[in-house]
Amino acid sequence: MNTQSKHSLKKSFDNGQGKDKVLVLNYIISQVEKGTGLTLLELKQQYKEEHLFYIGLKHVTTTKKAFCKAMDIPVEAGCRYKRKLEKNGHLVQSINKVVCPYTKDFAHEISTNPNEFAGLLETNQLTLF
């Protein structure tokens, strides 16, 4: 790594970007723990990763990347779990993209909470007619 890259990386952490990610991940974890009544460690001991993906998304609506990072689930595995849950009608992805709280890129939100499905499927785009 050259010196310029090191300074750029240090500068991004000094600007709080690393702290923002930690806050986002901690918030997701706290919502899942609050919703289930179990700690993340207890959830991981009690459930397989795929079931944790399903249960956790009942308690928080966020992007796949942010959720996977918070739950320490490989994103590739999260893609498989998402696809399987969508096919079974247990997961809905938002129509509109939002700014991912973890990456700051545009991405879809996902949820396994049926109370969230209608809101995720609404579009905020204007129609001309």
Q: 61 near 109, Cβ under 8 Å?
A: yes
Euclidean distance between CA atoms 62 and 67, whole angstroms: 7
**Residues, the chain, total?**
129
Among 96, 107, 34, 6, CA closest to 66: 107
pLDDT digit of tens for each residue in the chain (129 aa)? 344 333 333 333 345 567 889 999 999 999 999 999 999 999 999 999 999 999 999 999 999 999 999 999 999 999 999 999 999 999 999 999 999 999 999 999 999 999 999 999 998 766 555
Residue 47, pLDDT score? 98
pLDDT at 10 (0 to 100): 36
β-pairing verdict for 62-63 and 92-99: unpaired
Residue ranges of domains in the chain, CATH in brackets: 3-121 (1.10.10.10)
Is the four-CA dihedral 46, 34, 110, 104 of positive or negative sign? Answer: negative
Q: Report the pLDDT value the prediction gives residue 16, as an integer from 0 to 100.
A: 55
Q: What is the pTM of this model?
A: 0.82
